[in-house]
Amino acid sequence: MNILDGKKAAAHYKDKIATEVNELHLKGYRKPHLAAILVGNDGASETYVAAKSNACKQIGFESTLIRFDTDVSENELIAEVKRLNSSENIDGILVQLPLPKHINEDKITLEILSEKDVDGFHPESLGRLVLGLPGFIPATPKGIMMLLDFYQIETEGKHAVVIGRSTIVGTPMSLLLSRNSTPGNCTVTLAHSRTPNLSFHTLQADIVVASIGKPLFLKANMVKDGAVVIDVGITRVEDSSNPKGYKICGDVDFEEVAPKCAWITPVPGGVGAMTIAALMQNTLEAYKRRNNIQF
């Protein structure tokens, strides 16, 4: 069993971005600028946003955090997105999800200009992904592909099973793995909560991507020997023995599954770190496009 160390891979990619940003800055270009909107004070969202801000600082990006109380109106939020859209100094915009129930997340996503949609959630971004056109790929699936590439995991001709069909992870992940690219060229099964006899599919898989949002869901009896297992899940589970009162669990029962795997991601320290690295790469791409800098 080998660990797909997301922290190590993310550090590699962030170092490359930092080098490029420094070279551009020395040529007289301003620094890339990422703006994040955070509504309320959800603990997990606070952690994610802080990690993104720290990553910006590490690699030489400018970053701005705009906070709103939980009772912010939908119109106020839209007005702020429009302000960021019109700013010449903002290259990427992200709105930290989830939002309060009185706000329509799809409506907010649609307001973000596609050329600043570094989260890759805008319908235009997803449409470009489906058509194989240049665009912003959602950060988590993009990060997973970067992780597979970093560790040179063989994917061509392999059978991949993706568990979960969200437009943020599962669906784009299935498209990326099936693309005629490296990594890619997998035969992909997209499974979900309505898939009968899920184990029948996962036991045939060379690669399993678990993104169903159920802690410790994937067990050893669902995975074949020598599989590559990617755990996207991250859930806070109550744990009175932990000083924080909770522990972080993935969708994979790591202790059970890991001994059977050729490669597996840990939680934390796996996909989460790569998601942030991919977001930084998307922001750099947005910046270069807006400044007509050749890739």
Residues with a catalytic annotation lie at 52, 96, 119
Rounded-to-integer distance, Cα 275 and Cα 273, Å: 5
Give the list of residues 6+ apart from residue 99 with CB closer than 8 angstroms, or none.
39, 77, 105, 108
Helix, strand or coil, per DSSP, at residue 34: strand
Provide the token pair at 99. Answer: 């939002």
Give the list of residues 6+ apart from residue 219 with CB closer than 8 angstroms, or none.
253, 256, 257
Rounded-to-integer distance, Cα 21 and Cα 58, Å: 11
DSSP alpha helices (H): ranges in the chain?
A: 6-26, 43-59, 74-86, 105-111, 123-131, 139-150, 170-178, 198-202, 254-257, 271-290
Strand partners, 68: 39
Neighbours of 54 (CB within 10 A): 12
Rounded-to-integer distance, Cα 23 and Cα 102, Å: 44
Amino acid found at 199: S
Question: Among 35, 34, 38, 55, which residue's Cα sits nearest to residue 46?
Answer: 38
